[in-house]
Structure 1
Amino acid sequence: MRANLHLPHSLDSLAAKSLMSRRTFTRHFRLLTGSTVGDWLLAERLALTQRLLESTEQSIDSIATLAGFGSPVSLRHHFRQSLGVSPSAWRKTFKGE
């Protein structure tokens, strides 16, 4: 999933790819990661967003697409909720602008 964060991932599609039932996949995923699929996916998308903000000049719109948020509004909402700052503020802090 990490290599394809920009794609939509549903619990059913992931379970099918793993040749497991949804319930079995969910149980195994939680045992291996300590997290739900949704929480893990959000954390990975936020981590990618952080890296892109720190290392590129790409726009928030482009980063939202690359990280799989679907829209800049969604990216900004989740970023602020999880990290307490806006993506722009994060970029300024960690790029030294």
Structure 2
Amino acid sequence: MENDEKLERYFAALSAEAGTPPLTQEEARAVLDLARVVAHTSERRFAPLSTYLAGLAIGAGGGGDGADRAARVRALAKVAADLEGEQPRE
């Protein structure tokens, strides 16, 4: 990912304020892929709403580690892709 250091600093600060675990690179890739799939296969305005919904789902699901959270986001990206015929990145 480009600007990994900037991404880590930015989201470390947001995570600290929110009281959540830090965003892992795997999670960042999964969330960005979800946003990409949704933005390119439906109305662009659905992308931030979909990522917000993913965050709610992860929070309601009890968390887990970064790999578990990323897997749940990828599952949501697959649902979005299936709705519109787009393939998420592996």
- Please state which band the TM-score falls in when normalised by the shorter chain: 0.3 to 0.5
TM-score relative to the length of structure 2:
0.34
Higher RCO structure, 1 or 2 (CA under 8 Å, sep 6+): 2
- Between Structure 1 and Structure 2, whose CA radius of gyration is higher? 1
TM-score relative to the length of structure 1:
0.32
